[in-house]
Chains A and B, each alone.
Chain A
Amino acid sequence: QKEVEQDPGPLSVPEGAIVSLNCTYSNSAFQYFMWYRQYSRKGPELLMYTYSSGNKEDGRFTAQVDKSSKYISLFIRDSQPSDSATYLCAMKSNAGNMLTFGGGTRLMVKP
């Protein structure tokens, strides 16, 4: 079993839909949680960074962390075709030096 599981998709939604992207993890030591967006042939772009359980909102994006369930989510409201990309969750423990990534979910927002 991988440390971080993420549905690879592809996830296809119509423009304007609310998108829900999720990751589950097994290592209870993870404390820092990140969501990255990666366009084809580009480096990942940090979208959201959260520490501890709860919600964090930034524009159309909301990151949610539930440590008790070892489950994190990224919600995208009013999705746009420009949101079409691969979304990677990543997490890190306090002591650890490196990120552990999910496999990425490919999102397609159709106009």
Chain B
Amino acid sequence: GAVVSQHPSWVICKSGTSVKIECRSLDFQATTMFWYRQFPKQSLMLMATSNEGSKATYEQGVEKDKFLINHASLTLSTLTVTSAHPEDSSFYICSARVSNEQFFGPGTRLTVL
């Protein structure tokens, strides 16, 4: 299947700082990418849908000014958690769609102290 990478895989930051997570489709071009967060022992929660060259579409309850998404190319989308707080600590996973199949990255574990 198609390969999606994420960087970093793990990050610890201080409260109030911003963190950028990169998501890349390695062997295909993705016009649509998705960002999810997952709390322990829970299913994936869609945060936003990112389309190349246009503004992301955020799910209800997700603050667009806090979670900045940029999809500047067909192989790269970034999620920036701005002014991070301990409650933002979570597992963030990106995903890219090829036709009707959807492939996920390995995830980024964010811990905010």
Contacts and interface: CB of A to CB of B under 8 A. Distances in A.
B104 A45 contact: yes
Interface residues of A, number: 21
Contact of A34 (B32, B44, B102): B102
Nearest to B97: A97
B102 A99 contact: yes
B93 interface: yes
A46 interface: yes
Interface string B87-113: 000010100000011111111010000
Given A41-B107, A103-B43, A51 B91 contact: no
B100 A32 contact: yes
A36 B104 contact: yes
B104 A43 contact: yes
A98 B101 contact: no
A23 to B, nearest CB: 12
B15 to A, nearest CB: 23
